């Protein structure tokens, strides 16, 4: 079969997807390969960068075995990757250690040290906070989840690695270097590291903040547009991917901006919810917005000159996977899981679940809080536990939606849902019921990242126009309407969910931080 396509590769936390995306924005074929996360110490989360490449090659080999489309018809390669990891590489582009990924919070003390000052506001030194907000439209996460505090941790805790470090790269940056030999990043990744000027017309690394932290641009990659060709595919990488050397490699964007495009919610104010290992709410905007006390704000979007409002929650599908593998013994039949959820009455017979298994980022930046079930009785079974997880993630998302709507300046009438969790009718319906608004599931929701990455590549190659005009390329396959008879039940339980946090967050701090 002859049809021009883009090879789009989505490197997530738990798996890699390699897909062929047509010039009409359709996912033609896709293959997957798993990734593993290592936790060598409490609060640490690492991945082997060679493991990313091995998983990418495995997925692409499978893709070429199973598809009827030809590698010769691929006109571009693009990546959509998990964001805000840190990988130091030497002058030859070789990794010097495992990557510290977005889940890693080992740099909490460094985050608090670089943001300290007097007077203090919500844990931040006031004058430093004002500087960061003015320049970057955000501030470092106090839990140590951001790249900036990981940089400082690396300098302080691994000085021998720091001395040998030529560049500090994110996941996508490393893959671009492996494919093109260039150390480049995109505006979305740069703007989320809190070292970058994000105001329109002023984009660039901030010398003022770098000087404050005794850092320089020497170790930072060059920033180019997501919709720009980063370079031609090197011969070694071409052999690994089964493509022609010199194939254009597009800069691309992180997973959140890519999903924002792939969801079809591309006009300003249109909302999408991604329900995967973690979850997020996101919407495009024409200007910057931020709530630093809820860790919610805008990054640069994949479309140059636009911004993307993002509110990220740490563990969504990861909560389900924890129960499935660690408690139930690796129940793999998701159809059965959804049947159990549907068999449990709304409200999970009184059981609550709080999805803070790795702390939380939004709507509260709280690294000490932890997840769990509450109000369990001997009459409860696995169906109640599973439904409580689905509902708990939905309550947390509703809490987050309040922060997002204030920054948007208007209510959100409906939202599109994407990600692996969006394949569950039960979870989509719970989201609609808890939020009290329609939830629209798009075609192939689990392939949203690769579809969005493919569209970014098509924009770079001049095959499609402005991103805000391509929403029609992403069809909605089902709309889940909220059930009016459940409105009061879920409103009451949402209120209790909020009260649980307010009454217990100090207890979590005493238990987990000793203060």
Same domain? For 199 and 290 the reply is no
The reply to whether 270 falls in a domain is no
Same domain? For 351 and 438 the reply is yes
The model's pTM is 0.93
The reply to whether 137 falls in a domain is no
pLDDT of residue 295: 84
b/e sequence 255-285, b meaning 16+ C-beta within 10 Å? bbbbbbbbbbbbeeebbbbbbbbbbbbbbbb
pLDDT of residue 1: 56
The reply to whether 133 falls in a domain is no
409: which residues sit within 8 A by CB, 6+ positions away?
Answer: none
The reply to whether 141 falls in a domain is no
Same domain? For 24 and 58 the reply is yes
Please state, in angstroms and rounded to a whole number, the distance separating the CA atoms of residues 275 and 400. 14
Please state, in angstroms and rounded to a whole number, the distance separating the CA atoms of residues 458 and 105. 36
The reply to whether 457 falls in a domain is yes
pLDDT above 70 covers what percent of the chain? 99
Does residue 363 have a cis bond before it (omega within 30 degrees)?
yes
Same domain? For 256 and 285 the reply is no
Count Cβ atoms within 10 A of the Cβ of residue 172 and give its class: 0-12 exposed, 13-18 middle, 19 or more buried: buried
Please state, in angstroms and rounded to a whole number, the distance separating the CA atoms of residues 176 and 87. 13
pLDDT tens digits, residue range 407-421?
999 999 999 999 999
For residue 144, the 8-state DSSP code is S
Q: Which two tokens stand for residue 340?
A: 């159990």
3-state secondary structure of 245: coil
pLDDT band at 361 (very low <50, low <70, confident <90, very high): confident
| Residues forming a β-bridge with 81 | 11, 254
- Identify the H or E element spanning 418: strand 415-418
Same domain? For 92 and 156 the reply is yes
pLDDT tens digits, residue range 38-67?
999 988 999 999 999 999 999 999 999 999
Within a 13 Å sphere around the CA of 271, how many CA atoms are in the beta-carbon half? 22
pLDDT at 373 over 70: yes
pLDDT band at 332 (very low <50, low <70, confident <90, very high): low
For 418-431, what is the mean pLDDT?
A: 97
3-state secondary structure of 440: strand
Contact by Cβ (8 Å): 371, 315: yes
**Which of 265, 293, 326 represents a domain boundary (last residue)?**
265
For 188-194, what is the mean pLDDT?
A: 95
Range scoring the smallest mean pLDDT among 7-11, 122-126, 232-236, 446-450: 122-126
The reply to whether 376 falls in a domain is yes
**Which of 202, 236, 265 represents a domain boundary (last residue)?**
265
pLDDT of residue 414: 97
For 415-437, what is the mean pLDDT?
A: 97
Please state, in angstroms and rounded to a whole number, the distance separating the CA atoms of residues 230 and 249. 6
For 302-326, what is the mean pLDDT?
A: 93
The reply to whether 113 falls in a domain is no
Same domain? For 261 and 315 the reply is no
Please state, in angstroms and rounded to a whole number, the distance separating the CA atoms of residues 65 and 63. 5
Counting the structural domains of the chain, the total is 2
pLDDT at 225 over 80: yes
For 263-282, what is the mean pLDDT?
A: 95
Question: CATH no. for residue 347?
Answer: 3.30.420.40
Contact by Cβ (8 Å): 394, 434: yes
Please state, in angstroms and rounded to a whole number, the distance separating the CA atoms of residues 181 and 189. 19
Tell me how long the chain is.
Answer: 515
Enclosing domain of residue 438? 279-513
Same domain? For 80 and 155 the reply is yes
Same domain? For 224 and 328 the reply is no
3-state secondary structure of 146: coil
Q: What is the largest CA-CA distance in the chain?
A: 66
Same domain? For 284 and 405 the reply is yes
Please state, in angstroms and rounded to a whole number, the distance separating the CA atoms of residues 20 and 3. 10
Same domain? For 248 and 377 the reply is no
Contact by Cβ (8 Å): 286, 307: yes
Q: Identify the residue with better confidence: 142 or 65.
A: 65
Please state, in angstroms and rounded to a whole number, the distance separating the CA atoms of residues 499 and 486. 20
Count Cβ atoms within 10 A of the Cβ of residue 92 and give its class: 0-12 exposed, 13-18 middle, 19 or more buried: exposed
Contact by Cβ (8 Å): 74, 457: no
Same domain? For 309 and 371 the reply is yes
pLDDT above 90 covers what percent of the chain? 89
Please state, in angstroms and rounded to a whole number, the distance separating the CA atoms of residues 29 and 31. 7
**Which of 236, 265, 294 represents a domain boundary (last residue)?**
265
pLDDT tens digits, residue range 68-122?
999 999 999 999 999 999 999 999 999 999 999 988 999 999 999 999 999 999 8
Same domain? For 246 and 344 the reply is no
User: What is the helix, strand, coil percentage profile of the chain, to 5?
Assistant: 40, 25, 35
Q: How far is CA 37 from the centre of its chain?
A: 16
Q: What is the mean pLDDT of the chain?
A: 95
The reply to whether 136 falls in a domain is no
3-state secondary structure of 196: strand
Alpha helices in 118-191, H assignment, sequence order: 126-136, 147-157, 159-164, 171-180, 187-191
Contact by Cβ (8 Å): 48, 232: no
For 440-452, what is the mean pLDDT?
A: 96
């Amino acid at each position: 079969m002859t049809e021009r396509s883009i090879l789009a590769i989505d490197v997530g936390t738990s798996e890699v997807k390699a897909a062929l995306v047509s010039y009409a924005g359709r996912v033609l074929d896709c293959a997957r390969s798993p990734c593993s996360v290592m936790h060598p110490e409490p609060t640490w989360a690492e991945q082997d960068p060679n493991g990313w490449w091995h998983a990418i090659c495995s997925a692409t080999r499978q893709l070429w075995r199973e598809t009827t489309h030809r590698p010769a018809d691929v006109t571009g390669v693009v990546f959509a990757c998990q964001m805000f990891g840190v990988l130091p590489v030497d002058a030859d582009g070789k990794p010097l250690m495992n990557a510290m990924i977005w889940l890693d919070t080992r740099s909490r003390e460094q985050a608090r040290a670089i943001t300290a000052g007097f007077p203090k506001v919500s844990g931040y030194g006031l004058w430093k906070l004002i500087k960061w907000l003015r320049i970057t439209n955000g501030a470092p996460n106090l839990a140590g989840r951001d790249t900036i505090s990981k940089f400082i941790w690396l300098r302080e805790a691994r000085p021998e690695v720091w001395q040998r470090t030529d560049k500090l790269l994110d996941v996508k940056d490393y893959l671009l270097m492996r494919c093109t030999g260039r150390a480049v990043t995109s505006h979305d990744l740069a703007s989320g590291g809190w070292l970058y000027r994000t105001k329109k017309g002023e984009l660039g690394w901030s010398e003022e903040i770098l000087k404050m932290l005794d850092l320089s641009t020497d170790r930072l990659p060059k920033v180019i547009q997501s919709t720009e060709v980063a370079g031609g595919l090197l011969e070694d990488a071409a052999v690994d991917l089964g493509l022609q050397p010199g194939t254009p490699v597009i800069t691309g964007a992180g997973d959140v901006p890519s999903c924002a495009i792939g969801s079809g919610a591309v006009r300003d104010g249109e909302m999408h919810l991604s329900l995967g290992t973690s979850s997020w709410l996101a919407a495009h905007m024409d200007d910057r917005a931020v709530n630093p006390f809820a860790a919610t704000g805008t990054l640069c979007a994949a479309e140059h000159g636009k911004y993307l409002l993002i509110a990220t929650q740490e563990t969504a599908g990861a909560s389900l996977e924890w129960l499935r593998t660690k408690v139930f013994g690796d129940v793999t039949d998701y159809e059965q899981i959804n049947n159990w959820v549907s068999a449990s009455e709304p409200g999970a017979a009184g059981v609550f679940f709080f999805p803070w298994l790795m702390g939380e980022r939004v709507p509260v930046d709280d690294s000490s809080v932890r997840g769990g079930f509450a109000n369990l009785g001997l009459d409860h079974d696995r169906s109640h536990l599973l439904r409580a997880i689905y509902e708990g993630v939905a309550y947390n998302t509703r809490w987050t939606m309040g922060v997002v709507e204030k920054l948007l300046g208007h209510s959100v009438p409906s939202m599109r849902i994407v990600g692996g969790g969006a394949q569950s009718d039960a979870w989509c319906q719970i989201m609609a019921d808890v939020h009290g608004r329609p939830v629209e599931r798009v075609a192939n929701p689990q392939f949203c990242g690769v579809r969005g990455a493919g569209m970014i590549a098509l924009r770079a190659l001049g095959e499609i126009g402005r991103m805000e005009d391509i929403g029609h390329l992403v069809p909605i396959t089902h709309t889940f309407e909220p059930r009016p008879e459940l409105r009061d039940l879920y409103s009451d339980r949402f209120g209790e969910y909020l009260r649980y946090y307010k009454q217990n967050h100090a207890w979590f701090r005493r238990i987990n931080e000793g203060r």
